[in-house]
Amino acid sequence: MTISRIRLVVSLSRPPVLALLALFAATGMAQAGGGDDATRLTLVLLVVGSFVVSAVALNDVADEAIDRVNLPDAGDRPLVAGTGGRTDLRIVAAAAAALAVLAAAAIGPAAVLVVVGGLLLGVCYSVGPARLAARGAIASMSLPAGYVAVPYLLGLLAARGSVRLGDLPLLGGLYVGFVGRILLKDFRDVAGDALFGKRTFLVRHGRRRTCAASAVCWVVGSVSLLGVRHPTPALVAAQVAWVVVAIGLLRALGVDGGHRRDERLISAIAIVGRGMLLTLLAHLGTTAARWPAAGATAVLAGILLVHLGQAHTMVRCGPRCRIRVPEAWSAGGAELAHHVHLVPVGAVLDHLAGGDLEVVGEAELELAPRCRDRALR
């Protein structure tokens, strides 16, 4: 396999998405009492990773036209970036699906059923007459089923071999909470979605109702998360803190302050969501290891502190800016800043504001936020 093929597969794995699904899988294993079994976890991650690559490749093929409008500079969309063709993606999707099923067979027949169900959901979501992705609230309800239920159930099955009734409230909480976050992903794509008649929840119901629906999901989901094993006061306090912060951010998002502000707020809400999931995993881990309450509380507090700090930075500064400029520019940072600020070309400013290019050289790192802020004014 060539380097370009490896890059193609890596880009299709969408590392942040894969990390999220890995968290759900680890949570499932921990809920079943097998959270420290690294060998089983590796097997589950192989299944989950293959599942993600297959589903994403299919979705990229189906959404090529929309992605060209919504994400014209996205380096992780092979069809848009020109790093892969439709046939390449179809081959990768088929191979990854086969690998997912084979690896799931090593866990057990129930795991094969879960993966096949997830792959079928991925097909129905992206292509064919069903095309759930274009069906408003149904899209927001079905996507989390693949994102949450598949890895969580695989984690349970890998650790224990069965799913019990007591595991379902936690699954419900994770699912509803994730619906609350996935509703927001359409803010980024609203222009292309409306243009191509993709009737997302946001397109149908608007900003304020979408934020309100998300807030309801956050509250309901966090309450259901208390279906976790042995909930403690520290866990409850952490959940309350996450929800309060999320609702504050959603309230801000309910007011239209421009695309860049939306992006920052939604990224911050996603950080809060991931932090909530980590506190859950840490709670299960410390409970299984029989940690004293003080130690367990310290771990939860540490996760809370770091994630709130990252969310605050995200709201204030936006995501990391990776701008690539010609090598010759790196000779003089101040002069470069002067020239970049004067460039009136909208497309260039959009690139800078998008934060999706890579910085090279020494002097340019400090320029990115300033350029971006200027672009936003």
Partner 1 sequence: MTADQRHQVWRVIGITFAVVVALTGLAVVGTAIALVVALNSMGSNK
Residue with tokens 């597969």: 9
Task: Name the minimum Å distance from CB 165 to partner 1.
Answer: 25
Instruction: Please count the residues of this chain forming the interface with partner 1, following the rule CB under 8 A.
Output: 54
Which residue, 136 or 275, is less far from partner 1 as judged by CB?
A: 275
Tokens of 242: 């996450």
Q: CA-CA distance, 177 to 144, in Å (whole number)?
A: 9
**Rule CB under 8 A: is residue 43 a binding residue for partner 1?**
no
> Applying CB under 8 A, which of residues 10, 113, 244, 289 lies at the interface with partner 1?
289
Which residue, 69 or 365, is less far from partner 1 as judged by CB?
A: 365
Integer-rounded Cα radius of gyration of the chain: 21
**Rule CB under 8 A: is residue 313 a binding residue for partner 1?**
yes
Which residue, 89 or 276, is less far from partner 1 as judged by CB?
A: 276
What is the DSSP secondary-structure string of 320-375? PP-----GGGGG-HHHHHHHHHH---HHHHHHHHHT-S---SSSGGGHHHHHHHHH
Phi, psi of 13 (to 5 degrees): -75, -10
**Rule CB under 8 A: is residue 22 a binding residue for partner 1?**
yes
> Applying CB under 8 A, which of residues 77, 198, 307, 351 lies at the interface with partner 1?
307
**Rule CB under 8 A: is residue 128 a binding residue for partner 1?**
no
How many other CB atoms sit within 10 Å of the CB of residue 2?
A: 7
> Applying CB under 8 A, which of residues 196, 365, 374, 376 lies at the interface with partner 1?
365
Which residue, 88 or 186, is less far from partner 1 as judged by CB?
A: 186
> Applying CB under 8 A, which of residues 310, 330, 360, 374 lies at the interface with partner 1?
310
What is the DSSP secondary-structure string of 246-263? HHHHHHHHTS---HHHHH
How many other CB atoms sit within 10 Å of the CB of residue 293?
A: 11
8 A C-beta contact, residue 175 and residue 132: no
8 A C-beta contact, residue 229 and residue 160: no
**Rule CB under 8 A: is residue 239 a binding residue for partner 1?**
no
Which residue, 101 or 121, is less far from partner 1 as judged by CB?
A: 121
How many other CB atoms sit within 10 Å of the CB of residue 269?
A: 27
Note the residues at the interface with partner 1 (CB under 8 A).
15-17, 19-20, 22-23, 26, 30, 35-36, 38, 41, 147, 181-182, 184-185, 187-188, 263, 266-267, 270-271, 274-275, 278, 281-282, 285-286, 289, 295, 299, 302-303, 306-307, 309-310, 313-314, 316-321, 355, 365-366, 368-369
